[in-house]
Amino acid sequence: MLDKSVAITFINALLEVASKKGLFDQIEKDLDLVCDVVLKHANLKKVLFHPSVSRTSKKELIRNIFGKSVSDLYDELLVFID
């Protein structure tokens, strides 16, 4: 997982690119959804940050939860796991 400063830099860059492509509103909604789900489900957060859970398992979990809801954001979400 990325540390907070890297994550913030990444999110800012993602939003800048989204803005240039005219996708800012959609990406912002997608990020809000992801943050909302993770914050509301403490167990999900624990799994995503737990060192003994493999990256492959975390990616599969992200794919299962958000894959269809935030398809434009999916690849970027996986960066946080790597």
Summarised one tens digit per residue, pLDDT across range 25-72 is: 888 888 888 889 989 999 998 998 899 999 889 888 888 888 777 756
Query: Under a CB-based contact definition with an 8 Å cutoff, are residues 70 and 36 in contact?
Result: no
Hey, where are the domains in the chain?
A: 4-81
Cα separation of 42 and 40, whole Å?
6
Please tell me which residue, 1 or 12, carries the higher pLDDT value.
12
Q: At what angle do helices 74-81 and 55-66 cross, to 10 degrees?
A: 150
